[in-house]
Structure 1
Amino acid sequence: MKKRILGVLIGAFILFISITGCAVKSSNTSNAIDVQVATAQKQNIDAELNISGTLVPQKTVNVYSKLSGQVEKVNVEVGSEVKEKDLLAVIETNALNLQLEQLQASLNSAKASEELAKGQVAQAKINLDSMQRVYEETKNLYDKGIASKAQLNEIETKYEIAKKQYETALNGTLNQAKAAVSAAQANIKNIKFQISNAKITSPINGVVTNRNINPGELAAPTAPLFTIADVSTLKLKGTISQRYLPYIKINQTIDVVVDIYPNKVYKGVITSIGPMAIGTGMYFPIEISIKNIDNLKPGLSAYGRIKITSKDAVVIPASAVVKNDGKSYVYVIENNTAKKRYVETGLLNDKEVEIIEGLNENEKVAISNVNNLFDNAVVNVK
């Protein structure tokens, strides 16, 4: 009887263990998350790099007045198209014109004095030549014993006086008169130059983007009157991640699309890549120039497109990557368990993504239900 009871108990215990084990196994199976997986492979990956930014003028020039004075006339408005040397504004020159008249009168007077001095020099030269001949004749007579020493000394004295009068007229009076003429001419040239500065002209072809003066206001050399933008060529200014620097270079051709004209593609050229990163060191400034053949307006948003290829890269489906708080991670599947692993991504297209760091070739990653997974989650690979 005891053996029979013991046998019944042992059988019941075995049955309990079997049922419990099946229940646990059934529970684990029911809690597993169904996933599909893909294997990381080394291959080439093609992608399109987009550089977003704003179109700005190729060149912008502030126009200053070289002359201080009241503005008499303004010929342009904001938005006016101008060509190089077009008249933008005029500054009043009444005071300068009066000074010019006075200086012109001074010049005329100086020229008259110069002519008078020239006459004095000519007369002094005639007197000098006459006295020189008399002196030479007297000296000849003296040498022959016909003229006395006193006569020679008297004529020599008169000759020296004539010579000094000539030198004074030539080097003193005439030179002073010439200097007065030169000074008057220089002053007139300066006033004329100031008057010419009263006409404010455009230094380039372009469009007026700022106008800071009105008729009747005072212009000064310290404040710009106008801003002229050369819009014949526009620049797309944006930034590019440091990881893409190896794929671009100066003078490289690039397609540019303006956001409001999505069906039109413009040909651009990379004209500048910043030598220094912005902020954290992750992004570099870049400029792309395009010919403004359609009269595009500065300030429009646009983006450049570059087709690039990374060779022999570790590539997985893009659906495997989860992004959160600026970081990227995948779930590596090992023995029906999902292991969360942070990765650094590279090139990306609609289907695939390059893994630069964090994943090796031939490792398997989940590509479905990734948003429902967690570290060490049990999975059921489909």
Structure 2
Amino acid sequence: MSFPATKILCLGIGITLLLGCTEKQPETENVIRPVRFQEVTHQTSNPDLTFTGIVKADIETDFSFKVTGTLVSLNVTLGKRIKKGDLIAALDDSDAKLKYDKQLLALQKSETQKDTAQSNLTRTKGLYENNTVPLSEYESAKEKYSNANASFETEKRAVDLIKRELGYYKLYSPVDGVVLLSDLSINENIQPGQVISVIQSGNTLVVEVGIPEQYVSRTKINQSATINFSSIPNKVFKGNVTEVAYTANTDTSTYPVTVEIINPVNTMRPGMPANVALNFSSGIKLDSVLIPTHSVSKDSSGDFVLLLMVSNDGFGIVRKQPVTVGDISNKGYEITSGLNIGDKVITAGISSLVDGMKVRLLK
């Protein structure tokens, strides 16, 4: 085969391969993404902010021992009702009793020495007044009695102190109440100040919630609230703010706020979770525009939403719209500028959208 013929053959094969590869490439399809939207309307009711909290008794007392010892008696269990004067718990006081007995013997010995010194002083005084003994002997008798009496008073105070300490080995309830906490075991070693039990007393129940920094300044004493429980369905209870903390909880970075339940029922128990709704109507007006919080995005230019411009063919075009965000409620962000009534704000499928994209409407 001549060189020109070989060249022509190779060129033909290359063109054939190129055409074959071109025919196998699939055509790229334009994907029209689906979106959901919400029409902008006026806020028609005062927005409430809802916070989750825990029911507590208005009076809760922690009980602990003042001394170290081994737990030998525990007479309370979770939920048990107790009366004033009931024994809560006791520590082993055998060593303390032995110490008390020894100190009592020392007191008795000291008392005997004091009585002997007093008798000697009385006798010596009479002899001195009759000029039978010298003044030095009388002064010596007075000094011995003074020392013996001082020693007696010291031993007496020691007995009183140990006797009082013996009382620290038993805990008695000073009030009627219900046990909220008691999870210790017999023979457990107890340290001073360690909580043995928590007793609820009083008839008032409260809910303690954590309020974020931006709302705590607007939370006021006697502010009304509504409370509901998942365990008590279809019922709403009235509440009243009774305490607003001045310092934040370091664990949650929120401010503890106490809300009293005005109309409690017997099925409520300390420890139950509750939802407390507080009204901050002074921050968001009735005619405000509210949209879901997840509909608002932010970039280097500021806050914005994606609007849907609906076309006649059932599709729509995405348009980026800058907005000014105001306050927040459980219904969403307040939009103070940038939106008009009737605007269609995209609420689902936002992450994959860009300005000018064609989209499909979901019902």
Distance in 2 (alpha carbons) for counterparts of 1:65 and 1:287: 29
Change (3 A) 1:86 1:260: same
Aligned residue in 2 for 1:315: 288
Deviation string 1:194-238 (CA, Å, 9 cap, x unpaired) is 321221224664414123131xx1543257362314264444343
Instruction: State the shift of 1:377 in Å.
Output: 5.9
Distance 1:240 1:227, change over 3 A: same
Amino acid at match of 2:288: V
CA contact (8 A) 1:331 1:365 kept: yes
2:191 matched to which residue of 1?
221
| SS in structure 1 at match of 2:225 | strand
| Superposition deviation, residue 245 in structure 1 | 4.7
1:299 aligns to what SS in structure 2?
A: coil
Q: 2:152 aligns with which of 181, 190, 207?
A: 181
2:141 aligned with 1:169: yes
Aligned counterpart, 1:354: 334
Q: What's the CA shift for 1:240? A: 4.0
1:240–1:284: 8 Å Cα contact kept in structure 2?
yes
Larger radius of gyration: 1
**Pair 1:76-2:76 in alignment:** yes
CA contact (8 A) 1:44 1:312 kept: no
**Does structure 2 conserve the Cα–Cα contact (< 8 Å) formed by 1:256 and 1:265?**
yes
* Match 2:271 to one of 284, 299, 310: 299
Per the normalisation by structure 2, the TM-score is: 0.65
CA contact (8 A) 1:124 1:162 kept: no
Name the CA distance, whole Å, in 2 between partners of 1:302 and 1:334.
Answer: 43
The correspondence of residues 85-96 of structure 1 with structure 2, limited to 5 A, is 85-96=85-96
Q: Where does residue 142 of structure 1 map in the other structure? A: none
Counterpart of 2:77, as a letter, is E
Match of 1:329 among 305, 329, 333: 305
Structure 1: runs of 5 or more not aligned: 1-30, 132-157
Structure 2: distance between partners of 1:96 and 1:314: 73
**Structure 1 residue 262, shift from structure 2 partner:** 2.8
Residue identity opposite 1:322 in structure 2: S
> Structure 2 regions of 5+ residues with no counterpart?
1-31
Equivalent position SS for 1:211: coil
Contact 1:250 1:273 (C-alpha < 8 Å) held by counterparts? no
Name the CA distance, whole Å, in 2 between partners of 1:250 and 1:307: 13
Against the structure 1 CA distance between its residues 255 and 77, is the aligned structure 2 distance closer, same or farther, given a 3 Å change threshold? same
The separation in 1 between residues aligned to 2:289 and 2:183, in whole angstroms, is 56
CA distance 1:63–1:127, shift in 2 (3 Å) = same
- RMSD in angstroms over aligned alpha carbons? 4.6
Query: How far apart are residue 363 of structure 1 and its match?
Result: 7.6
For residues 172 and 249 of structure 2, what CA distance do their matches in structure 1 show? 39
Check if 1:366 corresponds to 2:344: yes
TM, length-normalised to structure 1: 0.62
Alignment match, 2:356: 376
Quick check: 1:266 aligned with 2:237? Answer: yes
Q: Distance in 1 between matches of 2:166 and 2:105?
A: 18
Distance in 2 between the 1:368 and 1:37 partners?
6
**In the aligned structure 1, how far is the partner of 2:223 from the partner of 2:86?**
36
Q: Quickly say closer, same or farther: Cα 1:355–1:83, change in 2 above 3 A.
A: farther
**One-letter identity of the residue aligned with 1:341:** Q
Structure 1 residues 242 and 338 mapped into 2: Cα distance closer, same or farther (>3 Å)? farther
2-structure distance, mates of 1:36, 1:113: 99
Q: Distance in 1 between matches of 2:83 and 2:250?
A: 37
Task: Tell whether the 8 Å contact from 1:44 to 1:313 is kept in structure 2 after alignment.
Answer: yes
Matched residue type, 2:327:
G
1:239–1:369 Cα change, 3 Å: closer
Q: Given the alignment of the two structures, is residue 251 of structure 1 paired with residue 229 of structure 2, yes or no?
A: no
Counterparts in 2 of 1:272 and 1:85: CA distance versus 1, 3 Å: farther
Query: Cα distance, 1:312 vs. partner?
Result: 5.9
Amino acid at match of 1:375: D
> Mean alpha-carbon deviation: is it higher for 115-124 or for 45-54?
45-54
CA pair 264-120 structure 1, distance change in 2 beyond 3 A:
same
1:199 matched to which residue of 2?
A: 170
Percentage identity across paired residues of the two chains = 18
Q: SS of 2:319's equivalent?
A: strand
Distance change in 2, residues 1:206/1:333 (3 Å): same
1:111 is matched with which residue? 111
Q: Secondary structure at the match of 2:335?
A: strand
Structure 1 letter corresponding to 2:140: T
CA 1:299/1:92 → structure 2, altered by over 3 Å: closer, same or farther? Answer: closer
